[in-house]
Homo-oligomer: A and B are copies of this chain.
Amino acid sequence: MIIHLENNISEESESTIKSSIETLGFTHNEVTTQYGRYFVCIGKKSIDLRSIGHLSGVKDIHKVSDPYKLVSGKWKVGKSEITIGGDLKIGNGNFQIMAGPCSIENEDQIKSTIDHLKKSNISIMRGGVYKPRSSPYSFRGLGIEGLKLWHDIASAEGIKIITEVMQVSQIKEMYDYVDIFQVGARNSQNFNLLDELGKVDKPVLLKRGISGTIEELLQSAEYIFSNGNEDIILCERGIRSFESAYRNTMDINAITILKDRSHLPVVADPSHGIGVRKYVDSIAFASVAAGADGIIMEVHSCPQKALSDGQQTLDYRQSAEAIDKILKVREVIV
């Protein structure tokens, strides 16, 4: 059960609501976000919602049986619309493409990428400065200095930045330079990181774990929301299966189901979703056809020379053509 409180609720009303909840046999979690206040009530009692709903200070009340409550689509009228960097929007009918290299490498690469994005009317650049790598001996990214350089160039061009945060201590450090914090597949259940990102007032793009279930992804999102941040973007990026003809199995079903079960926007990552350059465009089209609110993909001026994994990265010509067709498919679907 979710109780959405009035913004100007009196202390007295609040305490009446609390004692009513307790009397009914529920425990409750108080959640205050940038947009509202909620009591998330846990318990298995079956009650008449009106017994709470009529109380002073209650804006709205909803029964939500899902284990993920605040991110469930069952209580919120309409879909969430998230604002990125002050002016861009995603979700609730708004569509965004995010593109850029696997790793940020240097000034030239950043400028060249931004140039490509602007030609295709793309406003969000992806790129890694902290890279999770299977081997400790691999390149782990330029770090905070790379991010600052990137931010200097991108902000001057009106381009927003999405990049991965890997641990709690990086959040503060990165805060001034990012527009969207990305949580990678390996950290999809790093609950301490999710807790802290819930206390930030910038959007979080949360990737599904490499073998995370749809329910686990939604519960991870619930960690962020219940800590106070409603601006969450879900991301399907392929799961592990027995098939070895490609890198990951893009779970196209998940896009459709996430859109149905949650009010949050859902983005698809076709680059990791198949992991083979020549097929990335088709998987992007399919993702949009399945209902994705956005695409995040890898692009590089010369994928073969990319500092980290270029196998799934499009070059600028491929990217421009893909973007063009992505938008056409989107038009048919909406």
Chain A interface residues toward B at CB < 8 A: 29, 40, 42, 67-68, 132-137, 166-169, 186-187, 189-193, 195, 210-211, 213-216, 219-220, 222-223, 226-227, 239-246, 249-257, 260, 273-274, 278-279, 282-283, 285-291, 325, 328-329, 331-333
Contacts and interface: CB of A to CB of B under 8 A. Distances in A.
B226 A253 contact: no
Among A169, A282, A286, the one with the most B-chain Cβ atoms within 10 Å of its Cβ is A286
A189 B132 contact: yes
5 contacts: A29-B137, A132-B189, A134-B220, A136-B219, A260-B278
Given A134-B216, A239-B243, A241-B241, 14 more contacts: A68-B135, A137-B226, A167-B167, A167-B190, A211-B211, A213-B244, A213-B245, A241-B242, A244-B244, A246-B257, A253-B283, A256-B274, A285-B289, A325-B332
B332 A132 contact: no
B291 A289 contact: no
A214 B186 contact: no
Given A241-B239, A253-B246, A286-B289, A166 B192 contact: yes
A10 to B, nearest CB: 27
A273 B250 CA distance: 13
A136 B254 contact: no
Contacts of A245: 213-215, 253-254, 257
Name A's interface SS. Answer: helix
A39 to B, nearest CB: 12
A211 B242 contact: yes
Given A190-B186, A213-B242, A219-B135, A282 B291 contact: yes
The 5 A-B pairs at the shortest CB distance, nearest first, are namely A211-B211, A289-B289, A285-B289, A286-B286, A286-B290
Contacts of A273: 253
Contacts of A191: 132-133, 136, 166, 186
Contacts of A244: 213, 244
Given A260-B278, A287-B286, A243 B252 contact: no
A211 B81 CA distance: 33
Contacts of A220: 134
A186 B190 CA distance: 7
A103 to B, nearest CB: 15
